[in-house]
Amino acid sequence: MKKTDFSPQFPTVWGAGADSAHLQYPIPGSSTDLGRASLTLGFPPATFVAPEAGGSFMFGEDMNGALRMLATAAQNYESGVFPPFSASFAQSVGGYPQGCVVADPTTTGLFWVSTADNNLTTPGASGALWTLFSNLIPGCFIGTRVITASGTYTPTPGTRRIRVRLVGGGGAGGGTYATSSGQIAAGWGGLAGLYAESSLITSGFAGVSMVIGAAGAPQVGANGGNGGTTSFGSFLSAPGGVGGQVGTNNASAAAASVGGYTQPTGSASGSALLRQRFGSVGGAPIVASNTSGMGGCGADSEFGRGGAAGYLQVSPSSGTGYGSAGSSLSSGASQPAWAGGYGAPGLILIDEYT
């Protein structure tokens, strides 16, 4: 078969100019009138018997009506129309078959595929045996929205599906206690924010509230501040990283390097959560003697590097990638208390598809 073998199409449906006296449309489901056609019997047995023998002629308006119904269905097919879901039609045919495609009756451009034979369920309802057509055939990529400030998300026109990736704010590096003669203190790096992602159908979105997790703030002579939670409405949420532990003052190099390891806390949540990754752990301080050491580096995040470690009285660094953590420093003898480096704020990336 060749492309040119496609049958002539119906630019006009059969009997488009016929008046009501010459067109029975639509054909009724049943009829008791002698010789009249119906969907149940078609042209009844009487039309196959000569009128002089008690039969009946076929009615021309019934023939026009039957051909009009068939031509209308064919024209819809030729125009690329998917029929909308109809509960009454489903009942009349015993349910939709597996693999059929229907248009959503209220949302333009939304299509459903039946996942079972004899399907009488309603698309979109709880437990319905339908899946969105876009779940089977991904749309075209529109672009990526980079969200660095809290606000409300409104999809780009034409968006039907989105992939959301986000990270919580990074924790700040730990500070150090004040030291006296012969002592050294070195703090721990902060933890990165947790990463999470999901895939969503955007139909029906009226705007989703987005919150960017704040960067963890350092504190003088204390643990680093925790990063804030980043969220995309109730669909997805990721907590920030924990701040690094403060460096205690000690004359022993070994004692100045222990204690202070912090485990990641919290987990991603939300109705559309698909995947999560806990934030990396901050670096440990390294102390060789009471005159030589450095603080822990800030943890890297999914989107970049954490702060570099600070040596004796050298300022700690802030996280450079979204959601990464600040570093700490080491403090030699007879020094005041110090603060660690800042964490980096969170981020939301939204990949939009038709």
User: What is the spatial distance between Cα 155 and Cα 164, in angstroms, rounded to a whole number?
Assistant: 12
197 neighbors 165 (Cβ within 8 angstroms): yes
Q: What is the pLDDT of residue 150?
A: 97
Angle at 29 between CA 28 and CA 34, to 5 degrees: 70
**In sequence order, which residues have a C-beta less than 8 Å from that of residue 91 and are 6 or more positions away?**
120
Q: Closest by alpha carbon to 282, among 199, 195, 171, 198?
A: 171
Q: How far is CA 227 from the centre of its chain?
A: 24
Cα separation, 183 vs 289, in Å, equals 9
Q: Which of 36, 56, 78 is the last residue of a domain?
A: 78
Angle (CA) 299-143-113 rounded to 5° is: 110
Whether 284 and 331 share a structural domain: yes
Q: Are 280 and 312 in contact (CB under 8 A)?
A: no
Strand partners, 311: 294
C-alpha distances in Å from residue 287, one per residue of 198, 308, 326, 339, 340 = 42, 16, 19, 18, 17
Per-residue model confidence (pLDDT) at position 203: 62
DSSP string of 4-47?
GGSPP--SS-TTTT--GGG---SPPS---STT--BTTTBS-GGG
What domain range is 170 assigned to? Answer: 138-354
Q: How far apart are CA 81 and CA 215, in angstroms?
A: 51
* Residue 49 sits in the same domain as residue 180: no
Q: Give the ranges where 236-287 is alpha helix by DSSP (H).
A: 253-257
99 and 161 assigned to the same domain: no
Looking at the domain assignment, is residue 119 inside a domain?
Answer: yes
35 token code pair: 């010789």
1 within domain boundaries: no
Q: Do residues 188 and 219 share a domain? A: yes
165, 145 Cβ separation under 8 angstroms: no
Residue 2 domain flag: no
172 domain-assigned: yes
Q: What pLDDT, on the 0 to 100 scale, is given for residue 314?
A: 75
pTM of structure: 0.61
What does the pLDDT read at residue 273? 84
The number of distinct structural domains making up the chain is 3
Residues 144 and 131 in one domain: no
Verify that 69 and 191 share a domain, yes or no: no
The helix/strand/coil state of 69 is helix
Q: Is the peptide bond before 285 cis (omega within 30 degrees of 0)?
A: no
Same domain, 159 and 234: yes
At residue 265, the pLDDT reads 67
Point out the domain boundary residue: 78, 93, 126.
78
How many other C-beta atoms are found inside a 10 Å radius of the C-beta of residue 57?
A: 10
Q: Are 117 and 99 in contact (CB under 8 A)?
A: no
Query: Do residues 230 and 267 share a domain?
Result: yes
Give 326: exposed, middle or buried? Use CB within 10 Å, 0-12, 13-18, 19+: buried
Both 267 and 298 in one domain: the answer is yes
Residue 261 neighbours by CB distance under 10 Å? 12
Residue 239 counted as domain residue = yes
Residue 127 lies in a domain: yes
- C-beta of residue 159 within 8 angstroms of C-beta of residue 230: no
| 8 A C-beta contact, residue 205 and residue 266 | no
Final residue in a domain of this structure, among 48, 78, 108 = 78
- Per DSSP, the residues of 90-114 read HHHHTSBPTT-EEE-SSSTT-EEEE
Q: Does 42 share its domain with 164?
A: no
Please check whether residues 60 and 18 belong to one and the same domain.
yes
Indicate whether 272 belongs to any domain: yes
- For residue 3, being part of any structural domain is answered with no
Note the pLDDT of residue 325: 96
* Residue 96, both tokens: 């939709």
Same domain, 297 and 313: yes
Segments in the chain forming alpha helices (H): 60-78, 87-93, 133-136, 253-257
Q: For the chain of 354 residues, list the mean pLDDT of each consecutive stretch of 10.
A: 74 86 90 90 92 90 88 87 93 94 86 92 89 67 94 87 93 93 91 91 77 97 96 94 89 56 73 84 84 89 91 86 94 91 97 86
